[in-house]
Amino acid sequence: MHKLVLSLVACLLLAAPTTASAATGTAKGVDPDASAKTGGDTRTLVVGADIFIGDVVKTGPSGQVQIKFSDNTELVVGPRSSLTIEDYLLREDGSAGKLVVDTLAGTFRFVTGNAPKDRYLIKTPTGTIGVRGTAFDWANTDTGTAVMLYHGAVVVCATGGKCVTLDDVCDVAEYNTTDAAVIGHFDNIKGDTRAIYKALFRYAVNQSPLLREFRINGVERCVNRTSTEGGPGSLSDPVTGRPSGGTTPPRQTPGFTFQPK
């Protein structure tokens, strides 16, 4: 009887899934010089590699990783970037109950999957990005974080507590540890600052490095249009990229300037 009980316990332990061993996502596209580290073990990422909770994903100067999570959330980790998959909870119906990533440095793209939209949280060195059903790019720099929205809405919050909502197509927000502000449509960004932002939002300028499923239709119009009459109401308009009539006025400008890392 004692041996039977021990055998049953062993079978149950072998059958029970563990969070540590369950993959949260898959690397769909990988450029060279990309790795994932769990504890003291570092592995080179290749196409089809599993991504786990606790993984620190890091890319070199030419590296890039395109990750698809179990609930169809999409995350791009650009060159010279790193992040940690802090938490991922998958529900019985296959949707994500929670997804938390801590982005340490670099450029990224995020497109929500099947989870309730308020269950996504992105941490950055100077604050957080709360997702509200959306697609957006962001970049962490030495002085703060810059975000550009394509669909839906995000709430960006500085570490000090100041929060702003970004909810217009092609709009940009900035935040650092003490301040946060919506800058407005990319058309309103001029001169050297515009060049800085184009360097930060590399996938808005050129999506060719991305697999098709990680591309967002029309985002190039956010940064490559020459018009200064205001922004589009939808990326789906192939002619002008914006509805006729009206302009998008400039918004609050924060007291800090971004520089690429």
- List the chain pLDDT tens, one digit each, 261 residues: 444 333 433 433 333 333 344 678 999 999 989 999 988 899 999 999 999 999 999 999 999 999 999 888 999 999 999 999 998 876 555 555 688 999 999 999 999 987 777 788 999 999 999 998 889 999 999 899 999 999 999 999 999 999 999 999 999 999 999 999 999 999 989 899 899 999 999 999 999 999 999 999 999 999 987 544 444 444 643 322 333 233 344 444 444 444 433
* Distance from C-alpha of 182 to C-alpha of 159, rounded to nearest angstrom: 16
Long-range contact pairs involving 161-170 (C-beta distance under 8 Å, separation at least 24): 166/136, 168/231, 168/233, 168/248, 169/222, 169/231, 169/232, 169/233, 169/234, 169/235, 170/221, 170/222, 170/223, 170/231, 170/232, 170/235
* Distance from C-alpha of 29 to C-alpha of 47, rounded to nearest angstrom: 5
How many other CB atoms sit within 10 Å of the CB of residue 9?
10
pLDDT at 174: 95
Closest C-alpha to 148, from 197, 100, 210, 113: 197
For residue 225 the two structure tokens come to 């249009």
Predicted TM-score of the model (pTM): 0.80
Q: How does pLDDT run across 175-220, given as a tens digit for each residue? A: 999 999 999 999 989 899 899 999 999 999 999 999 999 999 999 9
For the chain, the structural domain boundaries read: 125-261
